[in-house]
Every structure is written in structure tokens, then in C-alpha cells.
Amino acid sequence: MLVRELVDKEEMLSYLPVLNELYPSLTAEEYSRELDEMLPCRYGQVAVFEEEECIAICGFWIGNKLWIGKYLELDNIIVRASHRSQGVGKLMFDFLERKALEQQCKMLSLDSYTSNFKAHKFFYNEGYVPKGFHFVKLLDKDAVR
């Protein structure tokens, strides 16, 4: 398996079927518009490949917070159902941790739905711990994919 950073919007768009495992209603047009908004804001993606097949994708953001400084946030961690529990997530997380260190980040972070217990176990095993709550107030409930 090979982990690498996706280089541009066109390459990201080509792996929409992987994202559709988590967001089945996400269309190519919507995804393209979202990437147009996100890419100028220090957004990127990494993917795991088995031979030529993309089997996992994770978005990431590099930002700054007053309380910690520079950080890397993992976003939309998706491993194809057929490849779960095979070390794919670990490969991706290790790659992103190295990237964070290269970028001189002081923290890695991620959000996870409270009901995603299997993922929580993985996150704990990778050294992630809950630091607080991420509160949301939905202004458009129909916008949630």
C-alpha cells in the first residue's frame, strides 16, 4: 500500500467514489464547488492506494489557534468498507503525523460523530483524546449530507 498527497482538484475529483461511501448523495458538481471554496484555505487530501486502486482518503486542514498555534486537522476520514481493519487508517494517520511535524504543527485534531464508537477506539489507540466538545447549531438541516 502507498500513501500520498493528492496534488490538485482534478485528482481529488477523480476519487469521488471513495467519498461517496460516506456521503452517497455528494455529486461531482457539489464536490467541485466545495473544493473551490476549501483549496484556497490550506485544505489538502491524502489517499491510500493498493496498486492503482484508491482505498482510502482523508482531507486535512492546516490552521492556527490562539491556544496552541499551528495545527493539522484531519477531516472526512474514509476507508473503503472492503479494506477496513487492515492497517489502512494507521498508514494514513502516520503519514499525516509526519506531515504535521514537517509543517511544525503543535497538534493534530479531528472531529468524530459521537455514535462512531469503532472509530473512537481507533483514535484512542492512535493517541488522540477528547479535549472538549465541538458544538454545532445547524442553520440549514437539509444541508447535512
pLDDT digits (tens, 9 = 90+) for 38-50: 999 999 999 999 9
d(CA 105, CA 68): 9
> What pLDDT is stored for residue 87 in this prediction?
93
Which CATH number do you get for residue 29? Answer: 3.40.630.30
Instruction: Record the pTM.
Output: 0.89
**Are 108 and 70 contacting, i.e. CB atoms less than 8 angstroms apart?**
no
* Residue-number span of the structural domain to which 80 is assigned: 2-143
Is there a contact between 72 and 49 (Cβ–Cβ < 8 Å)?
Answer: no
pLDDT for the residue numbered 143: 81
Q: How many domains does the chain have?
A: 1
pLDDT in tens, 61-119: 999 999 999 999 999 999 999 999 999 999 999 999 999 999 999 999 999 888 888 88
Helix (H) / strand (E) element for 5: namely strand 2-5
Residue 142 clears pLDDT 90, i.e. is over it: no
pLDDT of 5 reads: 97
The Cα 96–Cα 3 span in angstroms is 10
